[in-house]
A and B are shown apart, each in its own frame.
Chain A
Amino acid sequence: MRTRIIVPLVLMLFLGGSAGWAQQRLSDQPGYVSVEQLDLFPREDLSVEINLEGALLRMVAAATRGEDPGFAQVISNLKGIQVQVFPLTGVEEGAVRTKIGRAVRLLEDRGWKATVRVREKDEESYIYLKESGDQILGLTVLAFTAGEEAALINIVGKLDPAQLERLGQSLDIPQLKRVPAGGRKPE
């Protein structure tokens, strides 16, 4: 009787432990930002929402290695990408700016360091980095353009900001015009 109890128990403990060890959650990564906690934009009103992580990013890196090695190199080191774009048409922009200000304070409280902070009449841009030693493990962008849109972008994983910026600028306008059709509307 005792064996009948012990064997399944040992099995369950073994499997549970192995699964827990194997599965590293994105939210446990130091460069991860919880969009729920920032509570910036209502999900149902987002124009673009992107959530990429883990195996899918590795497959993207593998698929693009031949045609775009620079992009594949950046992607292969990432654990997750989160994007939320919120259109500002018909919205009280002051309330959105207040929320962005609150999110900025929250990031700073949690050890994120600002590399870019621009606060103009019609525009706000913030770029924050999460560092560990001499490594950068996360990047978060908050942007606001009056009359257009506000956005939150969180890149999780080991990254080189200079490489990321070069790559981003090379992708700049055509990519932004093309992708929203591919970007997923929240369900």
Chain B
Amino acid sequence: MTRFEELRCEEVLDVLEPWLDGDLPPDEEARVRVHLDSCPSCTAELALARAIQSELRSLPLPDCPPEVLERVRRARGGEVIPFGQPERRTSRPFRAALAAAMLAAAVGASVFFLPPFRNEEPDSEEVARAAEEARYALAYIGQVSRRAGLTLRDHLEAEPVRP
């Protein structure tokens, strides 16, 4: 351990973090700087402390729940607020999966058990017109069939089939 005039290494290491944060008075800050300029061991400690500080600052700030903030606010007013029973909470991904599964089940059930979905339900006029159109199609078939039968009969009468 090297000994310097102004500060010893132990004294410098004790104030290294406040020095990094700029919390020391100017004269003490200057004495630490003088020590660091000439002490490789404390400079290495300083580099480590700086790296740790940088890593800590890069972490996201914790989000304090509003109910905790409210307890703190009221406790400072002299009132002690006991915590209630812990609420059973499911994780967000699990809740999302559960909601999706329920939605899928509901839609699936509607597909299997309800009548087919139609954008526009035909009204009675449309159904009546469709009935007329279906009758027309069947009537046309009847006409073609009858005509073909008559043609066949004419042929048979003109040229009877001989046994």
Contacts and interface: CB of A to CB of B under 8 A. Distances in A.
A59 B125 CA distance: 12
Interface stretch (B2-10, B45-53, B137-145): B137-145
Interface string A57-77: 101100110000001001100
A108 B143 CA distance: 23
A7 B96 contact: yes
Interface residues of A, number: 60
Contact of B138 (A3, A11, A167): A167
B107 to A, nearest CB: 6
Contacts of B136: 48, 50, 83, 175-176, 178-180, 182-183
Contact of B122 (A22, A50, A59, A171): A59
B105 to A, nearest CB: 9
Nearest to A166: B142
Given A4-B96, A176-B140, 4 more contacts: A168-B139, A172-B146, A176-B136, A176-B143
Interface of A: 3-4, 7-8, 10-11, 14-15, 18-19, 21-23, 48, 50, 52, 54-57, 59-60, 63-64, 71, 74-75, 78, 81, 83, 85, 116, 118, 120, 123, 125, 127, 139, 141, 143, 151, 153, 155, 164-165, 167-173, 175-176, 178-180, 182-184
Interface of B: 93, 96-97, 100, 103-104, 107-108, 111-112, 115-116, 118, 122, 124, 126-148, 151-152
